[in-house]
Amino acid sequence: MRISDVARAAGCSVRAIRHLHETGAVPEPARTSGNYRDYSASDLVAVLRARALIDAGVAVADTHSPDAVERSISLIDARLALLSQQRARLIALRESPVGMPADVRERLLEVLGDSAYARSEVDAFDLMAVAGVATPATWETLRANLSDDGCVVASRELADIWEELGRMRERDGRVGGAVDKLKALYPQTVMRGVAATLSPGDLPLEFGDLEVQGAQGVAVRALAGEFDA
């Protein structure tokens, strides 16, 4: 076989085949009397093996490594996992283009009212939805909590405390008591069980990135401590 035949069988260019020979990834084949490369079936096997490893992401210089095949499989598995995550995110966007499902959004605003706290909660869930952090289980958990009278009452009480903290100064003597109430209420609100439904995401955001007013920052730091613990 000529080099052009091998390149066609390997799905690459003649130049790529020559590069394999130049780097030592694939030995040079025997040559004809006219000094043309004459590829045998075993030479083609060597080229196909090298190209399979390189296409998987293994460096040309590492194609002879004992673990080259295992490394290539690991690289492909990592890409498949990423593609699966991206696919799930796109499916979620197809069903809810702006983030959280419309019915959950409407019910959350109904429960919390048209307040800054309610809007911040909606924005947070939209962000988690678009980033692929929220899962179908997240919305099912929220739907169940939003139908639970106890969660609704606790959520409204927490929203009132949050708004009150926004009107206080951090050194206000009432802040400590308000924060303690907020911490006690949080697990009983519509957020009950939501954290367990979230998938790991790559959003570089923390509690400290939230927009706060007045003494709300004290509450944010307290809640961050709870979660870190």
Query: What's the CA gap between 126 and 138, in Å, rounded?
Result: 12
Q: Which residues contact 9 (CB under 8 A, 6 or more apart)?
A: 1, 44, 47, 48
What does DSSP assign to residue 30? E
- Indicate the CATH number for domain 3-79: 1.10.1660.10
Which residue, 165, 149, 152, is CA-closest to 116?
165
- Position 95 scores a pLDDT of 65
pTM tops 0.75: no
pLDDT above 70: percentage of residues in the chain? 91
Domain ranges of the chain: 3-79, 97-228
pLDDT tens per residue, range 111-156: 998 888 888 888 888 888 888 788 889 999 999 999 999 999 999 9
Q: What is the pLDDT of residue 148?
A: 96
Strand partners, 30: 38
In this predicted structure, the answer to whether residue 229 has a pLDDT above a threshold of 50 is no
Instruction: Write the pLDDT tens digit of every residue in 33-87.
Output: 989 999 999 999 999 999 999 999 999 989 999 999 999 999 999 999 989 878 8
Tokens, residue 167: 């009107």
